[in-house]
Structure 1
Amino acid sequence: MDPNKVYDLVQSHYSELASRSSTQEHTTVAENVVKAFGYRASELRSIPQNANLGLSCGNPVAVANLRAGEVVIDLGSGGGMDVLLAAQKVGPTGRAFGVDMTRSMIDVARENAKKANADNVIFIESAITSIPLPDATANCVISNCVVNLVPTAEKPLAFKEMFRLLKPGGSSGHDGYPRSEAARGGHGQGSILEYLQNAGFGQVMIVDCQKDLNIYKEIFLDLNEKNCGCCQSGAGGSLEPGQPMTERAEVDLNEWAGSFEIYALKP
């Protein structure tokens, strides 16, 4: 598919989610999802309620080992949940950047940062393949099931951008990645390793967290059969845009995606 079409579908879908972020129904579903991927109730209580959009495939802040005074960049920051949690870790002498290409998500995130009185947080409207920040800005780059939304042809750019933004010795960590990039052939993890190594990273470690992604069926139902353009596929047992919700309910999402902890260091 044309990369611009992919970006249009993703932005449309996430704009819809941003508009629903303040509803109580969606908040309840979103909390169920993120708790299934390792977020603690105390973490969720420490940030504005609608910062959690239920879009996680893991908890990158929990494994990032952030320290006071560090700079962290979250790629695909959504409503700001991981950025706000990271900001707590790096403290007032540190800085947490959130990058998202969807304007409505940036608006939601900035409002949440204001509610949280998070003065060490900055949100940037940008694609994660070309971010307007200087080289060697960050000690750590995190992403929560977002790099998978970048079109395959442009994924190398996203990993090179991570490498550019990191200081020497800095770490990159990503929770959640699709098996569906080469799902049926089983080469998804190999592709991630290749992207990281080609970008210049070393000491790469990929851990399959064995989480049950079928929790996301709650989100599908909550969307009231809205099309999910980011989940399309041409294979059998698919998640096609416009597919009836009853058919989607029969799909085992674990065949298509997995929750991975992916660690890499910039030499």
Structure 2
Amino acid sequence: MTIDVQARRTGHTREVVITAETKPCCDTDCCGGTTEETTTTPEEAGAVKALVRAKYGALAASGEAGCGCGSACCGDEVSMVGEAYDDVEGYVAEADLRLGCGLPTKLAAIRPGDTVLDLGSGAGLDAFIARTLVGAGGEVLGVDMTPEMVARARQNAAKLGYENVRFVEGDIEALPLEDGRVDVVISNCVLNLVPDKRRAFAEMFRVLRPGGHFTVSDIVVRGGLPGAVRRSAELYAGCVAGAVEETTYLDWLREAGFEEVRVLEEKVIPVPDEVILEYVDADELAAYRRRGGAIVSVTVYGRKP
């Protein structure tokens, strides 16, 4: 899918115009999100959210799998999850849009009777897997800011006959839940697309009960990611936009109040030298590699005291 974003100003009003076309995703803004670790203005954050909403709304409406975290935008397939879902109890093929970068439910220590919150729940894949873990006595809540995704997830839940799985439209930076509502928070390749990650982490902390925890899969970078390298990675693997340095990501979680923050699982996303060399020269590539530069899918854990 190609997303075109244009801004125009009339008098004192700035209008952001977004055009989405569902087709192979071969543009540098394939996966939306911000590309630097800088603070965004409310106007910029709104444009990012509109971009992401348009992209995922089109995916939900088309019913096609995305080019996001599951495959390359233009070229050989880049699998971040591989066969991980194949034998997972609760897997629902109709809910799998191949947008994830991990399997957070595998490491989330979800127990029967838990209340689980899935951030950026999409068509419901991870929420349905969580439902098999909490059982009939638990509850699973999914929050997504894209109306089309929420509608599709609700349709899938209705087909499955689940009465304790509920999907609501909402913003991860302002969750429509009361304090201390859930036992476990999960998310799969979504938080990297959120403009204000600090605010999102604070909301995760707020809605968790004392002693609750999160297990999220996401994309981070290591060793710095020059703009040209980031652009090549976005084209090749997708879902790199908005990713921040791993140390920054973990520090922000600790600043939100979480304890025992640690990476449970990681997978380096390989971007071949020949792809990067289309954007930088050999010396720049060598310097990036010497710094240990990498794009990494991580599954991170943290606990609310």
TM-score, length basis structure 1 = 0.75
Alignment of 1:64-213 (within 5 A): 64-151=108-195, 154-179=196-221, 183-184=225-226, 188-207=245-264, 209-212=266-269
Contact 1:34-1:55 within 8 A present in 2 as well:
no
Q: 1:22 to 1:261 in 2, by over 3 A?
A: closer
Give the C-alpha shift of residue 208 in structure 1.
Answer: 5.4
Which blocks of at least 5 consecutive residues in structure 2 are unaligned? 1-39, 73-77, 228-242, 272-277, 281-292
Give the C-alpha shift of residue 179 in structure 1.
Answer: 1.7
C-alpha distance in structure 2 between counterparts of 1:181 and 1:51, whole Å: 35
Give the C-alpha shift of residue 195 in structure 1.
Answer: 1.1
Higher helix share: 1
C-alpha distance in structure 2 between counterparts of 1:99 and 1:165, whole Å: 12
Contact 1:47-1:116 within 8 A present in 2 as well:
no
Which blocks of at least 5 consecutive residues in structure 1 are unaligned? 215-235, 239-254
Q: 1:260 to 1:14 in 2, by over 3 A?
A: same
AA aligned opposite 1:43 = V
AA aligned opposite 1:84 = F
AA aligned opposite 2:267 = Q
Q: 1:55 to 1:142 in 2, by over 3 A?
A: same
What SS class does the counterpart of residue 97 from structure 1 fall into?
Answer: strand
Task: Supply the RMSD in Å over aligned alpha carbons.
Answer: 3.2
Contact 2:222-2:246 within 8 A present in 1 as well:
no
Is 1:261 aligned to residue 299 of structure 2? yes
Residues 204-257 of structure 1 show CA distances to partners (whole Å, capped at 9, x for unaligned) of: 10245124366xxxxxxxxxxxxxxxxxxxxx849xxxxxxxxxxxxxxxx674
TM-score, length basis structure 2 = 0.66
Give the C-alpha shift of residue 7 in structure 1.
Answer: 0.4
Question: Which of structures 1 and 2 has the bigger CA Rg?
Answer: 2
Higher strand share: 2
Residues 120-173 of structure 1 show CA distances to partners (whole Å, capped at 9, x for unaligned) of: 10101001011111111111101111011011xx21110000000111111111
Contact 1:75-1:100 within 8 A present in 2 as well:
yes
Counterpart position of 1:248 = none
C-alpha distance in structure 1 between counterparts of 2:80 and 2:156, whole Å: 18
Q: Kindly tell me the number of residue pairs found equivalent between the two proteins.
A: 225
What SS class does the counterpart of residue 41 from structure 1 fall into?
Answer: coil
Contact 1:34-1:54 within 8 A present in 2 as well:
no
